[in-house]
Amino acid sequence: MRAIRLLSVFALAGGLLAACGGAPAATATARGRHCTVTSANADYNGCDLAHADLAGADLQQDSFVRANLNDANLAGADLQGADLAGATYRGAVTTKSTICVNAQYGPCTRVGLRGPKKVSYL
């Protein structure tokens, strides 16, 4: 019985860690999860960040897998190396001071926001 309780505690801790921006959980994250953008959070997988003001944010190497970035303000944000696989970003605002996923200065094009895998169009 003790082993079962211990396993349950580890499973719960792993889920909380992933929800707080730690290591991503092995299971798929449902889209629409509301997330707070902080400098310590590198896991925005499945987050609903539509219309979010991310201007000037340092988002290097952060994971936005299947996130909703539609109409988000990415002016001046640093997205270099971010993973946008499966993310949507229609109407996202980028400027010449935005550093795109491909390390080029914006405004970011579809190619500039593509990341390592195919994502939806702007």
Q: DSSP labels for 57-114?
A: -B-TT-B-TT-B-TT-B-TT-B-TT-B-TT-B-TT-B--TT-B-TTS-BSS--TTTT-
In a domain? residue 34: yes
Residues of the chain by 3-state class (helix, strand, coil), percent to 5 = 15, 10, 75
Q: What is the pLDDT of residues 72-115, one digit of tens each?
A: 999 999 999 999 999 999 999 999 999 999 899 999 887 667 64
The whole-model pTM stands at: 0.65
What residues make up the domain containing 88?
29-122
Q: Is the pLDDT of residue 48 over 90?
A: yes
In a domain? residue 17: no
Count of domains in the chain?
A: 1
In a domain? residue 11: no
* pLDDT score for 40: 63
